[in-house]
Structure 1
Amino acid sequence: MATAVIDGITTRYEVVGSGPALLMFSPGGFDATLDKWSTQGIYARIRPVDHLSRKYTCVIFDRRETGESGGRLERITWTDYVRQGKGLLDHLGITRANIMGACMGCCPAAAFAVAHSVMTTSLLLYWPVGGPLYRINGHLRFAQHVAFVHQQGLAAVVALAAEGKSFGQDPRGGPWVSVLRRDPAFAERFTTQDVEAYKLLVTSMGRTLIDRDTAPGAEPEDLLRLNLPALIVPGNDHSHGTS
């Protein structure tokens, strides 16, 4: 595996196959690591990278704050995730790419196409997240983390991170749990920050990332204005809406 520093944050990535470039925003919710393309649920069955790499140069990576990528304490937006993907393409010298997202990875994929339409050859969204239950459960996850911080403090979050669970598996650990587990210096900064300011940061981050009952990431009007080939493969459960 290779790494690159993008926007001051280390990104773990892998390039697989040959052909036209395909930037792939990983599935996995807030644990969007590159291995999810071959280990999680439906992706373990269909193994998209194995098939797509026969005709494309697949660029897969751990999204910031997940896996072996680093992170930063800030209110993260879809634009920040787009910046990571764009920076990775720049690092690899790729000027145009097909863009694919799966699960929550569809959100930054769609936002990438809007922000960098000239760089985008086509757009593929596989099982986009969305729907009222996705919004409700997503906001609940952030609220559970804030409640844990309020009751137990920041040091308890760091201790919990050592148990190895993701934000989705145990919301108490929060969206930075992966970095807390791997980076002692980050964990030290985390525990010494202002706890009230942190609770405000997390609350606003959850509300602004998951801000609608349709698929988040890009404004519908901006997507309608795009003039590029696109394929949407809808999901069929409470987190991945059918339309």
Structure 2
Amino acid sequence: MELTKACKTPDGTRFWRQGQGSSVVLIHGVGLDATMWRSQVEALAQRHDVIVYDMLGHGDSALPREDAELDDYADQLASLLDHLGLERVAVVGFSMGGLVARAFALRHPQRLTAMVVLSSVFDRDANERSGVRQRLAQARERGPAANVGAALKRWFSPAFHRAYPERITEIHEIVSSNHPQGYYRSYALFGTEDRFGTERLQTIRVPVLVATGELDPGSTPRMAHALAGHLPNAEVHIFPGQRHMVPMEDHEAVNAVLLRFLAKALANAPSKEVFQ
């Protein structure tokens, strides 16, 4: 399924909106853009008002400022909600999008109904931290294309590479075509802010689902369980045999888990609220 025609906010955020019902925002990962969510939009829009958008420095959205922080990315989402007249939404964040979701939950708690942190990072160990520092240095020196080939091998299984070479090519092109400064500024936050807000996570009271692939080397099941342990109303789901890009590689399983979680978490939430 292709997304409908893109729209743009006055401050330069590209977004798509489909469906009706309770509102759900999907946030992509570093180097990607909103189009990674096509399979999720198709499934979720049958029950929800689904919004997907390009983060700062990605796709056709504005660049982040040079000294950008995760709060800037959280404020981008808040500004998008203002533009759409939405007061409260559920947020699904993938990879770096999971960090942005956490930042949004801490900075704008009154605007959140539920949160999903999918294939994201938390409290890297020394080896994991060393690896991401090396990749960050490569990106700074040679741009977004510096390590995309290695990333694709981590993100997708060999079977997916063989079965869907056109999808691999598409993701390779999306990552490689990122604006170098926007990509690096975002990657720097992804690479260093895995413990963002740890001491405040217990203040996030909404229902939270923390999920990842069993074989994801960068967003591990250990991280998922550790993050959930800091959240008072969290559950964990591990996708068996899956790597990082589980929303694309096993979209049916992801869609089923998201729909089930959202139905339970939003059972008592109003379908629409207007921001005054």
Question: How far apart, CA to CA, are the structure 2 residues paired with 1:66 and 1:5?
Answer: 17
Partner of 1:220: 198
Q: Secondary structure at the match of 2:148?
A: coil
Unaligned segments of structure 2, at least 5 residues: 1-5, 151-174, 223-276
Question: How far apart, CA to CA, are the structure 2 residues paired with 1:88 and 1:34?
Answer: 14
Question: How far apart, CA to CA, are the structure 2 residues paired with 1:78 and 1:123?
Answer: 17
Give, in angstroms, the shift of residue 71 of structure 1: 0.9
Match 1:16 to one of 9, 15, 18: 18
Given the alignment of the two structures, is residue 136 of structure 1 paired with residue 130 of structure 2, yes or no?
yes
- Structure-2 change in CA distance of 1:102 and 1:204 (3 Å): closer
Match 1:122 to one of 92, 114, 119: 114
Q: Percent identity?
A: 22
When normalised by structure 1's length, the TM-score is 0.67
Partner of 2:231: none
Partner of 1:42: none
Asked whether the 8 Å contact 1:98–1:120 carries over to 2, the reply is yes
Say what the alpha-carbon RMSD is for the aligned residues: 2.9
Partner of 1:198: none
1:64-83 to structure 2, matched below 5 A, reads: 64-83=56-75
1:137-216 to structure 2, matched below 5 A, reads: 137-148=131-142, 166=145, 169=148, 178-179=178-179, 206=188, 209-211=190-192, 215-216=194-195
Question: How far apart, CA to CA, are the structure 2 residues paired with 1:71 and 1:94?
Answer: 24
Partner of 1:233: 211
Unaligned segments of structure 1, at least 5 residues: 39-46, 149-156, 158-164, 181-189, 191-201
Question: How far apart, CA to CA, are the structure 1 residues paired with 2:61 and 2:185?
Answer: 23
Partner of 1:2: 7
- Structure-2 change in CA distance of 1:2 and 1:205 (3 Å): closer
Partner of 1:110: 102
Deviation track 1:187-218 (CA, whole Å, cap 9, x = no partner) reads xxx8xxxxxxxxxxx69982x55336xx44x3
Partner of 2:164: none
Asked whether the 8 Å contact 2:139–2:145 carries over to 1, the reply is no
Q: Secondary structure at the match of 1:221?
A: helix
Question: How far apart, CA to CA, are the structure 2 residues paired with 1:32 and 1:125?
Answer: 17
Q: Secondary structure at the match of 2:13?
A: strand
Q: Which amino acid aligns with 1:3?
A: K
- Structure-2 change in CA distance of 1:147 and 1:62 (3 Å): closer
1:57-96 to structure 2, matched below 5 A, reads: 57-96=49-88
Question: How far apart, CA to CA, are the structure 1 residues paired with 2:88 and 2:128?
Answer: 32
When normalised by structure 2's length, the TM-score is 0.60
Q: Which amino acid aligns with 1:65?
A: G
- Structure-2 change in CA distance of 1:170 and 1:68 (3 Å): farther
Deviation track 1:72-123 (CA, whole Å, cap 9, x = no partner) reads 4512221111111111001101011111111221000011011111110111
